[in-house]
Amino acid sequence: MSDQLGNKILMDSEVESAIEEVGSGDAQRPGDVRPTTKRLTRRRLILRRFLRNKLAVAGVGVWIFLILLALVGPMVSPWAFNDVDRRAYLKPPSQQHWFGTTQSGRDVLALTMQGLRKSLLIGLLVALISTTIAALVGSFAAYFGGWTERVALWVVDLLLVIPSFFLIAILVTGGPQGSSSWLLLVLLLAAFGWVLSARVVRSLTLSVKEREYVLAARFMGLAAPKVIIRHILPNISSLLIIDATLGIGGAVLAETTLAFFGFGVQPPDTSLGTLIAEGQRLATTFPWIFLAPATVLVIMVLSVNAIGDGLRDALDPNSQSGGKAA
Amino acid sequence: MGKYLLRRLLNYAILLFIAVTLTYFLAATQLNPRGLFEVRNPPLDPASIEATLLQYNLSDRVPIMERWWTWFTAVLQGDWGYTVDGGHVNDEIARRMWVSLRLVTVGSILGIVLGVALGAWTATRQYKASDRAATFGSLLILATPILVIATILTILATKFNQATGVRMFEFVGETGDRGGYPLAGLVDRGQHLLLPTIALTLVGIASYSRIQRNLMLDTLGADYVRTARAKGLRKQRAVMKHALRTALIPTGTYFAFSVATLFTGATVTEQIFTFHGMGIYGVQAIQQQNVHGTVAVTAFAGVCTLTGAVLADIMVAILDPRVRLS
């Protein structure tokens, strides 16, 4: 199933579309003789295509803002996330507390920024680790074929049989508790998050591994791991970049669900998921505790997904959104 | 084709066996039913704790292989074991699976039908205002955890109920107090199902419309659709007969695959709307150190996933002539 979806060959028409791009860059009137020496490097080409997608550009802007908020916000904010304001329990948004306060008198804005910090960290780490695993497993399986491939595919199937949610929940419950338990959570989310992408990486590698440059590298006597890392992975890097980008949102959403049932980041540490879970219990009467972290979470996931879509369009020369010559 | 399906089935049976066995080992070593007794005050007699644990095959002093064998031989006779307070796992599962089914059926059917329709329609109107609006809407919903969607729905429903003074929306449990008029029971159930169904439908529409739109875009540009048009077929007919039909194959398999996972996939919805279904049972089992319940739910989920996979295989075989012929 995923083979059909993932088997788009990304490389083929790159050259053609690059040529098209150069032509389409500035509309030339007939007879207007200008030197057509302006060449675009691949990087600039992708950048141009990416910038054309307004939603994706907005996504980048939002992400820069969110990262700044997470890094600088807690220093600027008058309230620390663990400060308790004894004069304000469950108060709606006001001048002192922009986003209101919680049941225990903590500032919702400060809490949200603290949670955002952890959620960003979790999302980025999980995406990085799981895409790396997916890239290595998928490409090695396809490159070696035979038993390696069979075993890898079998492990993939095995991990897909049972919902990872329950397995992560069991391991979090039985695992060590404490302030660094979120690292375990990251590892678990990554350990179960790579499987589907590994399948796509495998099918892409299958289509790349018989190419001339791979064969040339092989016949020159390069060892298999080097062929894969130097020649195959860079050529499917567009998929890996997209996969990692979209993986960030997936990881953050998964953490939210786990946190809702108490399997997420453990107190005193906090994440957006933990905050949403806490706020949810009182949401119908005191909605602000819930709405602030929920809004930030949705904006964050939405913008990272928009970036991912923009990257997909920019990196995939077959996509329709490459722009038109008109 | 029969042989092909049989081989897949055997492969799935082995996968399921290994996955469930691994889950048993995981749950039996990570969860700690003894801890439930040790926190009691006044403390219980250690000998009687041990006796209870032994009675239900939950003592961690018995070697794990021995426990597994006892458990496994019982499972082969259809007995999924007991909790520490003597509850039978079979009873819970037998009751709760229907609760889950009642919760998700309408929502998921509406989700796929409307989603496919929306996706197909927007694909024919690519980059027009309606397409952009639908795309943005789906991306927004997909970036929002169902936890947030459901909670926002309850907030809005509470506002609505308060504003109109009519208890139109009910969001606690499956049934409530009903009136004395005919069909009151049905209306009552309908009222309780309204919000969760809206939530599930929204998510279904969002994801299926994305999938269907992308598939449709691929087939709309295909040669055979152009040929059909060149042959003189009206656009609508060419789209319906040639483009949509081909594009439905992957959606069909995807649906077959996901329909079975619905039983355990609606955990969050169950929790928010207090439906005592399978997913929530799995979560509670883990929280309450209920080894046998946890394994039973994951095994059930595994059976669901593999049933979905078999359904998907059959679906491909029926729908896709390329598979049927080979």
Total Cβ atoms within 10 A of residue A275: 30
> Locate tokens 């709405």: which residue?
A291
Residue B266 has pLDDT above 80, yes or no: yes
Return the residue of A nearest to B291 by Cα.
Answer: A170
pLDDT value at residue A151: 92
pLDDT at residue A129 greater than cutoff 80: yes
Whether the pLDDT of residue A94 is over 80: the answer is: no
Q: Which of A3, A8, A19, A5 is nearest to A238 (CA)?
A: A8
Average pLDDT score over residue span B106-135: 91
d(Cα B213, Cα B218) in Å, to the nearest integer? 9
What per-residue confidence (pLDDT) applies to B7? 85
- Cβ of A174 within 8 Å of Cβ of B265? The answer is no
- Tokens representing B303 are 């059976």
Average pLDDT over residues A1-21: 36
Q: Is A170 in contact with B31 (Cβ distance < 8 A)? A: yes
What ipTM does this complex have? Answer: 0.87
- Tokens 């152009």 found at: B226
**Which residues in chain A are contacts of B257 at CB distance < 8 A?**
1
Helix (H, G, I), strand (E, B) or coil at A101: strand
Among A235-244, A273-282, A284-293, B19-28, the range with the most confident prediction by mean pLDDT is: B19-28
pLDDT reported for residue A11: 34
Question: Between chains, do B19 and A298 touch, taking CB under 8 Å as contact?
Answer: no
pLDDT of residue A288: 84
pLDDT category of residue A12 using cuts at 50, 70 and 90: very low
- Among A174, A260, A262, beta carbon nearest to B147: A260
Residue B121 is predicted with a pLDDT of: 92
pLDDT recorded at residue B42: 79
Record the tokens describing residue A82, joined without a space. 């663990």
Provide the 10 A C-beta neighbour count for residue A19. 11
Query: Does position B26 have pLDDT exceeding 80, yes or no?
Result: yes
Answer yes or no: is pLDDT of A1 > 50.
Answer: no
- Give the mean model confidence (pLDDT) for residues B151-171: 85
Q: Look at residue B1 in the predicted model and tell me its pLDDT.
A: 62
Binary contact (A162, B301; C-beta < 8 A): yes
- Average pLDDT of chain A is 80
CA distance B45 to chain A (A): 25
Read off the pLDDT of each residue in A136-157 and give the average, rounded to a whole number: 91
Give the C-alpha separation, B194 to B220, whole Å: 36
Q: Which residue of B has its CA nearest to A303?
A: B143
**Structure tokens of B181?**
């008029």
Q: Which is more confident, A171 or A267? A: A171
Q: Which candidate in B31, B210, B255, B286 is best for mutational testing of the A interface (most A CBs within 10 A)?
A: B286
pLDDT, mean of residues B234-256: 85
> Above 60 in pLDDT, residue A24?
no
- Cα dihedral A209→A211→A213→A214 (10° resolution): 20
| Mean per-residue pLDDT over chain B, rounded | 86
CA distances from B43 to B35, B50, B70 (A): 12, 13, 29
In CATH, what class is A56-325?
A: mainly alpha
pLDDT at A59: 92
pLDDT band at residue A5 using 50, 70 and 90 as cut-offs: very low
CATH architecture of B97-319: Orthogonal Bundle (1.10)
Residue with tokens 């207007």: A32
What pLDDT score was predicted for residue A121?
Answer: 92
A292-315 average pLDDT score: 89
Q: What is the mean pLDDT of the segment spanning B283-304? A: 90
The rounded percent of chain A whose pLDDT value lies above 70 is: 85
Nearest to B154 among A166, A249, A283 (CB): A283
Q: Is pLDDT above 90 for B110?
A: yes
Are B145 and A256 in contact (CB < 8 Å)?
A: yes
Question: What is the distance between the alpha carbons of residues A325 and A313, in angstroms, rounded to a whole number?
Answer: 17
pLDDT, mean of residues B4-12: 84
Average pLDDT rounded to a whole number, residues A94-99: 74
- Per-residue pLDDT band for B251 (boundaries 50, 70, 90) equals confident
Q: What percent of chain B has pLDDT over 90?
A: 23
Q: Which residue in chain A has the smallest CA separation from B150?
A: A280
At A13, the pLDDT band (50, 70, 90 cuts) reads very low
- Nearest chain B Cα distance for residue A235, angstroms: 23
Whether B240 shows a pLDDT value over 70: the answer reads yes
Q: Name the residue facing A298 among B143, B283, B302 (closest C-beta).
A: B143
> Above 90 in pLDDT, residue B9?
no
Q: Work out the pLDDT band at B189, boundaries 50, 70, 90.
A: confident
Residue B238 one-letter amino acid: A
pLDDT of residue B59: 83
Looking at residue B325, what is its pLDDT?
A: 55
Question: Are residues A249 and B143, on separate chains, in Cβ contact within 8 Å?
Answer: yes
User: What is the average per-residue pLDDT within B179-194?
Assistant: 80
The mean pLDDT of B119-128, rounded to a whole number, is 89
Give A131's pLDDT tier (boundaries 50, 70, 90).
very high
Distance in Å, alpha carbon of A85 to nearest chain B alpha carbon:
27
Is B145 in contact with A257 (Cβ distance < 8 A)? yes
User: How far, in Å, CA of A276 to CA of A280, rounded?
Assistant: 6
Average pLDDT estimate for B217-223: 85
Q: Which of B10, B151, B217 to mutate to test the interface with A (most CBs of A within 10 A)?
A: B151
Query: Which pLDDT belongs to residue B206?
Result: 93
Of B142, B148, B158, the CB nearest to A276: B148
Res A320: pLDDT: 53
pLDDT score, position B203: 92
Chain-chain contact of A261 with B139 (C-beta, under 8 angstroms): no
Mean pLDDT of A83-92: 73
| Lowest model confidence (mean pLDDT) among A25-29, A79-83, B274-278, B317-321 | A25-29
CA distance A139 to A226: 12
Q: Do B298 and A302 touch (CB under 8 A)?
A: no
Closest alpha carbon to A242 in A160, A134, A139, A141:
A134
What value does the mean pLDDT take over residues B59-72? 88
pLDDT over threshold 50, residue B18: yes
pLDDT for position A100: 78
Query: Please, are residues A144 and A265 in contact by the beta-carbon 8 Å criterion?
Result: no
Element holding B21 (H helix, E strand) = helix B2-30
Tell how far CA A13 is from the center of its chain. Answer: 27
How far apart (Å, rounded) are the C-alpha atoms in residues A119 and A125? 10
Q: Which residue has the higher pLDDT, B159 or B2?
A: B159
Q: Which two tokens stand for residue A41?
A: 């490097």
Q: In chain A, where does DSSP find H-type helix?
A: 2-6, 14-25, 42-52, 54-76, 108-144, 146-161, 164-174, 181-193, 195-208, 212-219, 224-226, 237-260, 272-280, 287-315
- The predicted pLDDT at position A300 comes to 93
Chain A residues bordering chain B (beta-carbon distance below 8 Å): 1, 4-5, 55, 154, 157-158, 160-163, 165-167, 169-171, 173-175, 249, 253, 256-257, 260-263, 276-277, 280, 283-284, 287, 290, 294, 297-298, 301-302, 305-306, 309, 320
B267 and A261 within 8 Å at the Cβ level: the answer is yes
Question: Residue A17: its pLDDT value, please?
Answer: 40
Among A122-131, A301-310, B232-241, top mean pLDDT goes to: A122-131
* pLDDT at res. A188: 93
> pLDDT-derived band of residue B326, with 50, 70 and 90 as boundaries?
low
* H helix runs in B125-243, sequence order: 129-143, 146-164, 184-220, 223-230, 235-238
- Do B147 and A297 count as a contact with CB atoms less than 8 A apart? no
Domain limits, chain A: 56-325
**Residue in A closest to B284 by C-alpha:** A261
Provide the pLDDT confidence category of residue B4 given band limits of 50, 70 and 90.
confident
Domain ranges across chain B: 2-76, 97-319
The pLDDT of B66-94, averaged and rounded, is 88
